[in-house]
Amino acid sequence: MSKIRPSKGAPYARIMGVGGYRPVRVVPNEVILETIDSSDEWIRSRSGIATRHWASPEETVAAMSIEASGKAIADAGISADQIGGVIVSTVSHFKQTPAVATEIADKLGTGKAAAFDISAGCAGFGYGLTLAKGMIVEGSAKYVLVIGVERLSDLTDLQDRATAFLFGDGAGAVVVGPADEPAIGPTVWGSEGDKSETIKQTVPWTEYDSSGKFPAITQEGQAVFRWAVFEMAKVAQQALDAAGISPDDLDVFIPHQANMRIIDSMVKTLKLPDHVTVARDVETTGNTSAASIPLAMERLLATGQAKSGDTALVIGFGAGLVYAATVVTLP
């Protein structure tokens, strides 16, 4: 018989608060058209994007995260020193070590919170949320801060007609804490590494000096579109099934804000009822990868399009290819 004492965590976990930060500079499509041969009409028809936010030198990954996290902590009604874990999902923090999560945890005043970064592309928020839920139920932390943050403008090739218009910067954060009833459903997640070449960094950092070209994100647009629309709709349905609900039970759908055509196609494939509010934050924020779901969640709640207690399906998918979907109760 094991002599290890059982964990004493909460029975369930929930999202308690959400916060977002968008850089001050708003970049319309006209700016993108200075470096690619295209049109505003083409960009909008292909992606649904009209504007995006680009960070200034002062709006670092850490700085944006701290702003978003402060709002999430206040929204949750707790203090920073109660945070026991800080999880940061990002692909645009350019220091291999230390993790930017440690800097954020310190500057927020969390004390000695466990802090680490994860790299799961556009599915990173879902991965972080799942880890946070496990920490709370297991008992290693009472409150966990989950941050999705990107400065994708640093990884954008402005001469690449296929991707120059897609990416934006920003940070979204949620506080996850204990709950007496289920409020974060089972996660359906996974990876398809055989498709990893469809979204990738152009050259590894080790080849940067010899290539003479700064690494950027590139993708095979049509392949990604087909995968996202057909395969991710299946994953979204699996998440609904795992939570024991149907599309009719949903109030809100918050997919990764990759592309308006992908979002609309998923809504159609899932046969979501008209009463379901669908996040379409991509129009004014662009694709912010790991930050897109919490940013969209924050905007829906702030504008009254969604309300506390609503049942929401969230799904992220991207480079890897990786994905994560779950059903949550909104804070």
**Catalytic positions:** 122, 256, 287
Q: Which of 248, 257, 264 is nearest to 317 (CA)?
A: 257
**Backbone φ, ψ for residue 236 (5° rounding):** -60, -40
> CA 222, 227, 228, 230 torsion: positive or negative?
positive
Q: How many residues does the chain have?
A: 331
Q: What does the block give as tokens for 8?
A: 């004493």
Query: Using alpha carbons only, what angle is made at residue 71 by residues 301 and 138, rounded to the nearest 5 degrees?
Result: 90
Quickly count helices (H) and strands (E) in the chain.
11, 14
- The widest CA-to-CA distance across the chain, in whole angstroms, is 69
Give the CA dihedral 271, 273, 276, 280, nearest 10 degrees.
Answer: 50
Contact predicate 83/108, CB 8 Å: yes
Residue 229 is given by DSSP the state: I
Calpha distance 75→17 (Å, rounded): 5
Q: What does the block give as tokens for 163?
A: 């991707």
Contact predicate 32/17, CB 8 Å: no
Q: Transcribe 11-73 into DSSP letters.
A: SEEEEEEEEEE--SEEEEHHHHTTTSS--HHHHHHHH---EEEE--TTS-HHHHHHHHHHHHH
